[in-house]
Amino acid sequence: MSANNRRIAKNTIFLYVRMLFTMGIGLVTSRVVLQVLGVDDFGVYNVVGGVVAMFGFINSSMSGATSRFLTYGLGKSDEVYLKKIFSLSLEIHIAISIVILILSETIGLWFLNNKLDIPPESMYAANWVYQCSVISAVISITQVPYNAAIIAHENMNVFAYVEILNSILKLVILFVLYAVAGNKLMIYGFLVLGVSFVVAFIYRFYCLKHYRECRFTFTKDRALIKPIFSFFGWDLYGNLSTIMRTQGVNMLINIFFGVIANTAYGIAMQVQGAVGAFSSNIITAVRPQIIKNYASGDYNAMKHLIYASSKYIFMLLVAISIPVIIEMDFLLKIWLGEVPLYSVWLCRLSIFFLYFSTLSFIMVTGAHATGKIKIPSLINGSIYLSVVPISYIAFKHGGSIYIPFICNAIFVFFGCCMNLYAIKRQIAQFAFWSYFSEVILRCALATFCAAIVPAVIYFSVSYGWVRLGLEIMASVVGVSVATLYIVSENNEREIIFAKIKDMFIKWKIMRR
């Protein structure tokens, strides 16, 4: 195994440890918070936080730009370039935080108090939570360059430790909610803000101590400002469309279906985040290597990493999601007790969306590595943004709440194709039909084959834990076999078998 592959494997392990710990606590806290706040206040918290998130698209764009240029600088081994990029990024993020603060306290505040469907008795608490969300957003915006530095240096163990602490602090919040009297929604908003402040402080302290480029110096390097803002400008449109696709639909659901539907939407987003974490952790570990391969001119390694990570991350997601999709009703009842209206199918559709968004995000990383994102951002952004007017028209004429989720899945697949086209224009090694046959067709066929046995179990075994356990085992075995014999190339299969054989030999030696 090469040094880069070992680094990716090590970082993935750290990220998975973090994920399993945070997911376990997250499942507990989500249920308790729903019970403590109630369905209405939980929905209010979700939709109010969404108002601030609508302005976060500016921050998302600069986050992508900062991460890309820092990672590119590490690939070039240019320390002076790194220092300038970090300082310039921090200056820009401070300016962005001021802009978002102004927008949040004017347009956002007006929208909250005049357009959202919030019960009158919850309006004061909603404004309190909103202000906490605004402050939290400002903290997270100025935090971006520091987090980007950690990712660029591939120190994923730092993320693992800090996020475990983050989860523990959120668990402490539950005990506080039970122990204190008063408006639970207001107390919860304030405590979440406090946790975000503690986490940001730890990340900044670590970066200042370990990375020399994270010591701020004022810079006016015009040669760097132009490419950063060019990248930022086009990525801004793509991120604007993405946030409108999520939070814009959230607002429309509130207007047409009410707060209870927002609760179902919030649960679906949590399920999507929990299941997607299994794939996003590997993407986070792989992303720096893709950009560094491009920076060093090793395009064949870049192509192989994109193809391989797309296939294996997709199949990992399939292994996890098959039993979750099939048994969504059972799992939500275990998790929440009382399942809000719309939740089951919104959760299923949100996972279906993950299949295509995972492939798309890997291709986005490849497009970002080239720095040429004008065409994919323009086309993808327009496609994603169209979900909002389509949903509005559909809702206006009595359409189903599920329509935007279906549109999301379809449109993100086209977005993946556009990102591949953008990479092809810069790197001759990439080709659409090669990607389609080696990645998409193989993964689709493997998914179909792996889902057959769990589906048979679903219709043959009685409802309950036994059926769920059998489906999980069938999914893991089915996906493993399908991945080996349908998705993997011959040389990849040989490497996998060699590793399994090596692990078996080591196990036998340890038993002696």
pLDDT at residue number 275: 81
pLDDT at residue number 151: 78
Query: Contact 250/46 with Cβ under 8 angstroms?
Result: yes
Q: Helix 343-370 to helix 299-326 angle, to the nearest 10 degrees?
A: 180
Query: Contact 295/153 with Cβ under 8 angstroms?
Result: no
- Give the residue from 315, 405, 426 showing the smallest Cα distance to 363: 426
pLDDT at residue number 1: 47
- With tokens 């975000």, the residue in question is 196
Residue 117: C-alpha distances to residues 53, 56, 104, 135 (Å): 18, 22, 18, 23
Mean of the per-residue pLDDT values of the chain: 80
Integer Cα distance of 235 and 85 in angstroms? 17
Cα pseudo-dihedral 115, 121, 125, 130, rounded to 10: 0
The H-assigned helical ranges of 54-78 are 57-76
Integer Cα distance of 35 and 188 in angstroms? 13
Dig out the tokens for 136 from the structure.
């939290």
The H-assigned helical ranges of 327-386 are 328-336, 343-370, 374-385
Query: Contact 40/259 with Cβ under 8 angstroms?
Result: yes
User: Phi and psi (nearest 5°) for 258?
Assistant: 95, 180
Query: Contact 159/167 with Cβ under 8 angstroms?
Result: no
Give me the amino acid identity at 288. P
pLDDT at residue number 115: 73
Q: In this prediction, what percent of the chain has a pLDDT beyond 70?
A: 84
Integer Cα distance of 338 and 343 in angstroms? 11
Q: Is the dihedral of CA 386, 392, 398, 400 positive or negative?
A: positive
User: Phi and psi (nearest 5°) for 181?
Assistant: -95, 165
Phi/psi region, residue 125 (left: phi>0; alpha: psi -120 to 50; beta: rest), is alpha
Q: Which residues of the chain fall short of a pLDDT of 70?
A: 1-64, 221-222, 503-512
Dig out the tokens for 214 from the structure.
């994270």
pLDDT at residue number 150: 84
Helix (H, G, I), strand (E, B) or coil at 512: coil
C-alpha distance across the termini of the chain, in Å: 27
Kindly report, residue by residue over 440-488, the tens digit of the pLDDT: 999 999 999 999 999 999 999 988 899 999 999 999 999 989 988 898 8
Query: Contact 408/387 with Cβ under 8 angstroms?
Result: yes
Prediction pTM value: 0.71
